[in-house]
Homo-oligomer: A and B are copies of this chain.
Amino acid sequence: MPTIHDVAKKAGVAPITVSRVINNSGYVSEKVRNRVNQAVDELGYVPNILARSLKSKRTNTIALVFTDITNPFFNFMARGVEDSASDAGYNVIFCNTDESSDQESKYVKLLLQKQVDGILLVPADTRSNSIQLIQDQKTPLVVIDRCVSNKNVDIVRGDSEGGAYLLTKHLIDLGHRRITLFSGPEAVSTSQDRVKGYKRAMENHGLSKFVDCYYGKFSRQSGIDLTKSIFSKENSPKPTAIFAANNLISVGILAELRNLGIKVPQDVAVCSFDGIPENLTVIPFLTNVAQPAYKMGQKATEILISRIKEKPEPSTDFEEIIFPVELTIRESSGGKIG
């Protein structure tokens, strides 16, 4: 492949002149410019940005390290990230960790070696050591979706606690007492926060003794398993409402309840943190509080890129942006029959 030297030779100029033409920087006469452009076309020259990056220490590439692109919430978040990054001239490397800290740190190490300009991280663990790795390299970092013990990071997340409170209160207002929560992995802050919000709502309404919650996974299967186990217990009172800590869990719950012949919302009310993507729903049915996943991705990327730009003088005051959630009441909770 031709290099800047080949173009220079062909156009009868110095490489730096070609560089100036390509980058539209500095002064180049019309005449020379044309000659260079012609040489570029004839040779089919494509600049090697790697070489530029080696000098400039900028790759214009960022990375999104998260759990799973297949999860609708992260899926839309990822799209927000890519759109925002692309607008600003950055490419995005996607990395799926499946909630594994090992995977996460493997990815992070490689990304740092690749000199990505910044990293968006959904940490698998509250005390993710990846954060330290990234900060040691002075690589800009924005944590998305979750809290971490290290407070010296920018964070963009949804209001898990508040959302869980809202949803639980909605069920309580409908007259439910025995409300069971199926949460996600115990090590994940969103799981914990949703439990907190749920408990707070129960306690505030004198329902402490009905608190009943379980950690599991953020998956459909987890919803199925937990539902099975709850409804197969002999001699124990059954919940009249179930609160799923994410959308995949709620799908599992609904599927398994149907399987067991238990009617929603007549026999059990169901509601969920985060809903089913609109472009995949025929009949909106699920009462839920939803986080603006796409916007969260956008916002996090904007912050990251601004950090990248101010890099020589890194700021020391970090932002924690908490997006409000939105409650949508539908048939599944029996709150409104639509």
Contact = CB atoms under 8 A, between A and B. Distances in A.
Given A70-B75, A115-B49, A93 B61 contact: yes
A219 interface: yes
Interface string A242-256: 000001100100110
A261 to B, nearest CB: 13
Copies in the complex: 2
A91 B79 contact: no
A61 B111 CA distance: 11
Interface string A16-60: 000000000000000000000000000010111111011000010
Contacts of A51: 54
A337 interface: no
Given A50-B54, A254-B282, A78 B69 contact: yes
Contacts of A282: 251, 254-255, 258
Interface of A: 1, 44, 46-51, 53-54, 59, 61, 63, 68-70, 72, 75-76, 78-79, 82-83, 86, 91-96, 107, 109-115, 136-138, 219-220, 247-248, 251, 254-255, 258, 276-283
For the complex of A and B, 6 pairs with smallest distance between CB atoms: A254-B282, A49-B113, A220-B279, A91-B93, A94-B94, A255-B282
25 contacts: A44-B136, A46-B113, A48-B54, A49-B113, A50-B114, A51-B54, A54-B54, A63-B91, A69-B69, A70-B75, A70-B76, A70-B79, A75-B75, A78-B94, A82-B94, A82-B95, A92-B94, A93-B93, A93-B94, A94-B94, A251-B280, A255-B281, A258-B283, A276-B280, A277-B280
